Structure 1
Amino acid sequence: MSSLNPPLFERLSTLLDPLDPAELHGLLCGLLCADRTLTVDTWLAHAAELLDDEALPETARDVLGKFFEYGRTQLDDPDCAATPLLPDDDTPLRQRTEALGKWSQGLLYGLGVSDIVRWAGLSPESQEFLHDATGIAQAGFDRAEATDADETAYTEVVEYLRVGLLLLQLDLNRPTAAHRSRPP
């Protein structure tokens, strides 16, 4: 799960400050789900927009370019291993929950700036996932200490996002997805 990503998450947090790696990964996943032909230049333009900086420094462009390849590789994985990029499991649950919300916000933003006409043909499952992702984007955790039940719930939400991302990706990239809701 997220424990595979801590070095990348930590490194990106440092290199891309003030951008949040979870939000960036969600944005990238949304953009790639909606447009499999997304180019690195288009990706960099979206990232620059988040920073309100049209001229990204060369080091940021390099890191974001590698991040783009990481995201594309994840979504192209035949074993469906795409997982939201989140802090490791040793990070306090409050911060991990906040990252889940940011990842969901990024995903929704990435889908929102894409060809929204295609959304009309989404399956009911994908539509439900997007509705749920909207709620997760507003998630928070306000207790001082996490219980085992809280940790289990967090793990289940991460898995739900992973599976929902896969479902959405398949749904959006089906050749007939844009036409399913239209009468013949």
Structure 2
Amino acid sequence: MTDADEVDHDGLQALARRLRLGTSASELHGSLTGYLAGGGAVDGNAVLGVLELDGEAIDPTAQDLALLDRLARQSQASLADAELGFEPLLPADDRPLHERAEAVVEWCRGFLGGFGLAGAAVQASLSGEAQEVLRDLGTIAGSSFDFGNESEDEDALIEVHEFVRMAAMLLFAECGAREGTGGNTVH
């Protein structure tokens, strides 16, 4: 997949609005990532169904389904990247700090929901480290931020972002190592 083919935050946000999904691009990507990290597999035609997202009577077009397919392939490939290239799909760094911080919270909420959809059996057999990572993601998902010193706040958000990025890859690696014990595979 070339960079030109990659789904970006703005493109996914436009899709979520167009389909009236009632979720943000960050939460949608978090849900998909959590589902994949939990051992689920999906192609673009089934993303909305697997994640239990229904638009308000707006059927996705062929172009919408193609975008979801690219997003699913992009997410799967980046989680499996040996170079640790996974990145949560979040607003660009030039967006206001409060918007980016809220997007991280939404991404984590989505991740936890998607991970839960992949299968409870996986969660029960996670290592202690992975269970702690899930708890930490839950803490982030339930957070609200107080902003004070912009430089310190920016540094803190960078640290949280890096934790979230690594947490997703750790959970994907652990659950992927349990061939066949993850969630349902949808093709």
Does 2:161 match 1:158? yes
Aligned residue pairs, count? 171
Does 2:65 match 1:61? yes
Residue 31 and residue 54 in structure 1: after superposition, are their counterparts in 2 closer, same or farther (change >3 A)? farther
2:16 and 2:24 in contact (8 A); partners too: yes
1:97 and 1:139 in contact (8 A); partners too: no
Residue 46 and residue 53 in structure 1: after superposition, are their counterparts in 2 closer, same or farther (change >3 A)? farther
2:51 and 2:117 in contact (8 A); partners too: no
RMSD of aligned C-alpha atoms?
A: 2.4
**AA in 2 matched with 1:158:** H
The correspondence for 1:169, drawn from 147, 172, 184, is 172
Counterparts in 2 of 1:1-150, with a 5 A limit? Answer: 8-17=8-17, 18=20, 19-35=23-39, 37-46=41-50, 49-51=53-55, 53=57, 55-143=59-147, 147-150=150-153
Partner of 2:184: none
Alpha-carbon displacement from aligned partner over 1:49-82 (angstroms, at most 9, x marks no partner) = 2535583333322221221121112112111111
For the residues of structure 1 that align with 2:95 and 2:149, how far apart are their CA atoms? 11
For the residues of structure 2 that align with 1:50 and 1:125, how far apart are their CA atoms? 34
Pick which of 107-116 and 16-25 moved more: 16-25
Residue 134 and residue 177 in structure 1: after superposition, are their counterparts in 2 closer, same or farther (change >3 A)? farther
Which sections of structure 1, spanning at least 5 residues, go unmatched?
Answer: 1-6, 179-184
Q: Percent identical across equivalent pairs?
A: 29
For the residues of structure 1 that align with 2:47 and 2:114, how far apart are their CA atoms? 10
Q: Per chain length, whose mean CA-contact separation is higher, i.e. which structure has more relative contact order (CA < 8 Å, sep 6+)?
A: 2
SS of aligned partner of 1:51: coil
Partner of 1:182: none
Pick which of 87-96 and 38-47 moved more: 38-47
**AA in 2 matched with 1:8:** D
For the residues of structure 2 that align with 1:81 and 1:10, how far apart are their CA atoms? 20
Residue 175 and residue 118 in structure 1: after superposition, are their counterparts in 2 closer, same or farther (change >3 A)? same
Normalized against structure 2, the TM-score is what? 0.80
Which sections of structure 2, spanning at least 5 residues, go unmatched?
Answer: 1-6, 182-187
For the residues of structure 1 that align with 2:70 and 2:179, how far apart are their CA atoms? 32
For the residues of structure 1 that align with 2:180 and 2:123, how far apart are their CA atoms? 8
